[in-house]
Amino acid sequence: MSANTNRHENAAARYFEAWNATESAALAKAVATAWTADGGYTDPLAEVRGHAEIAALIAAAHERFPGFVFRPLGAVDGHHDTARFGWELVNEADGSAPVAGFDVVTLDEEGRITQVLGFLDRVPTGA
């Protein structure tokens, strides 16, 4: 495994840590660890920039899906400053996963996320 692969996997691990943080101080810290200060997140339902907006988006996802966690699907793939990985949103009580997709992330030289481009493969009706 190359150092570049570790860099991509580490960035994805920090990303999932942020998406799974539910307490506001832990969420703010995880977002600041994963993203650059001016980092962005874009998917078909949202476009935000900066730590505060990203944290608010994550908090809103937890409000919409309480008791759910984001889990990786498959391996992280990457080259240069770009990584991609699949994920699903899993109900911890029954194991259902109503939302799934994949993300493409761009990293800075320290391995922090500068941009996320998210794609939704499975979304419940009315989301």
Model confidence pLDDT, tens digit, residues 27-81: 999 999 999 999 999 999 999 999 999 999 999 999 999 999 999 999 999 999 9
In the chain, the DSSP E strands lie at: 35-43, 46-49, 68-79, 82-91, 99-107, 113-122
Its pTM stands at 0.93
Could you tell me if 19 and 61 are in contact, meaning their C-beta atoms sit under 8 angstroms apart?
Answer: yes
Residues in the chain: 127
Predicted confidence at residue 1, as pLDDT, reads 47
Predicted confidence at residue 2, as pLDDT, reads 53
Predicted confidence at residue 124, as pLDDT, reads 84
How would residue 26 be classed by pLDDT, with cut points 50, 70 and 90? very high
